[in-house]
Chains A and B, each alone.
Chain A
Amino acid sequence: MATSFESALHNLRETKVWKSIFRRGPARTNRTRSLAIFGNLFLHWMPVKVREKSLRVRASYYLGSISFILFIVLFVTGILLMFYYHPAAPHAYRDMKDLQFVVSNGVFLRNLHRLAAHLMVFAVFWHMFHVFYRGGYKPPHEFNWVVGVVLLLVTLFLSYTGYLLPWDQLAFWAVTVGTNIISAMPFIGHKVRFLLLGGNIVGENALLRFYVLHVVILPLAAFVLIGIHFWRVQKDGGLTVKPRDEDGRE
């Protein structure tokens, strides 16, 4: 059995389709391993070699990776929730309740989306504090620090725009209070509030605007910025490792 399976695998690897996708052959040498990373769109910005120290848990607590994984979870569950949610005033609240009580596994998806959102805000903040205390904002990482701060703001704004979408009392008053805080901005505050809400009150226009921000504009911005963020980590010479970790001492 084993031999017939191996020969089948061998034959598969000899096919033209296989060879067109995996052009490098098995990654047995450092060169072929590097080429495998360079030739893959999703991996090409990752470092080909990593110091073992920067893979230790205490080098980063994997907080950036955790934030990214949570973002992917939110992206997938968010798209699934969109199949049942209408961003309009008579429907939004009922759709949210339908997801909880009527749709198969809807409550699981909604809770996953909600909990992952809470955790992501937590993880992103912790990531920022950790990088700050590690001195990760110092040269040559200044640019990436600023990109990270913008990503934190995008995360918070994603969280805030998502808060309105259940269209319940909590959502309504949270957005009423939040947009009144915005209107305290000098000179342009009331105009910014008017544009954000698409009117003077939290109504249908506000729900639609927050929805478009939440499902299109902000995730798109987050994806682009995350791409830059990862790429800069590699270009700036990897993670910031404490000098004493560099020496190999703990």
Chain B
Amino acid sequence: MSDTKTSSVVGSPHAIPASNGVTRRDFLNEITMGALGIAGLGSVAVTYQYFSPNVLFEPSTTFRAGNPDLYPVPSVTFLQDQQVYIVRMPEGFYAVSAVCTHLGCITQWKPDAEMIACPCHGSKFRPDGVKIEGPAPQPLPHFAISLTTDGELLVDKLQIIKPSQVLKV
């Protein structure tokens, strides 16, 4: 490295260290790499955003299940489109998910055996969602069920409630 005082005549001006020891070349290299790094992180972030859809054309998570009189006591009714069982027992109504907690298959109500069975891997549940046997790690969740002002059943699949919360009609 040439002496700073005579550098304008001899060495390359780009390689002269400033008083803190950083050359102009190093400084520009670091600025450039830093900018490229920020741009790279930014493009990862916007790509992630791009791949997360903002609008989904999926069945509504809240739905009306008709008049309570449609369901005899006791009964388990499977709603195909919603993948929910509307269970009516002497103590009241509850809505049980029909999606197996093991790997997401749709379970079936077996009236003869009085249990809910999964065709994929053989999990079995009671009508109130409690697991009898099988690989399922959790009981079937209960969804919030209420009455609309005009007297129909309303189920909200985003709200999981305790099995003890039963809708009395």
Q: Could you list which residues of chain A lie within 8 angstroms of chain B, going by C-beta atoms?
A: 173, 176-177, 179-181, 194-195, 198-201, 203-205
Instruction: Find A199's partner among B56, B103, B105, B120 (CB 8 Å cutoff).
Output: B56
Point out which of B53, B104, B105 has the most chain A C-beta atoms below 10 A from its C-beta.
B104
A-B contact pairs, 12 of them (CB 8 A): A173-B120, A176-B104, A177-B103, A179-B104, A181-B103, A194-B52, A195-B48, A199-B53, A199-B58, A200-B58, A201-B58, A205-B56
B103 touches A195 (CB 8 A): no
**How far, in angstroms, from A69 to B59 measured CA to CA in the complex?**
44
Per-position binary interface string of chain B over residues 33-62, scored 1 when its CB falls under 8 Å from any chain A CB and 0 otherwise? 000000000000000100111001111000
Chain A residues within an 8 Å CB radius of B56: 199-200, 205
Q: Which residue of A lies closest to B83 (CB)?
A: A201
Q: Which residue of B lies closest to A204 (CB)?
A: B57
Dominant secondary structure of chain B at its interface with chain A: loop
Q: A173-B120, A176-B105, A201-B59 are in contact. List 9 more A-B contacts (CB 8 A).
A: A177-B103, A177-B105, A179-B104, A180-B104, A195-B48, A200-B56, A200-B58, A204-B57, A205-B53
B51 touches A177 (CB 8 A): no
**How far, in angstroms, from A204 to B57 measured CA to CA in the complex?**
9
Q: Which residue of A lies closest to B137 (CB)?
A: A184
**How far, in angstroms, from A204 to B59 measured CA to CA in the complex?**
13
A203 touches B57 (CB 8 A): yes
- Please give the distance in Å from A94's CB to the nearest CB on chain B: 20
B53 touches A176 (CB 8 A): no
**How far, in angstroms, from A181 to B135 measured CA to CA in the complex?**
13
Chain B residues within an 8 Å CB radius of A194: 52
Chain B residues within an 8 Å CB radius of A203: 57-58
A177 touches B57 (CB 8 A): no
| Contact A180:B103 (CB < 8 A) given known A194-B52, A198-B53 | yes
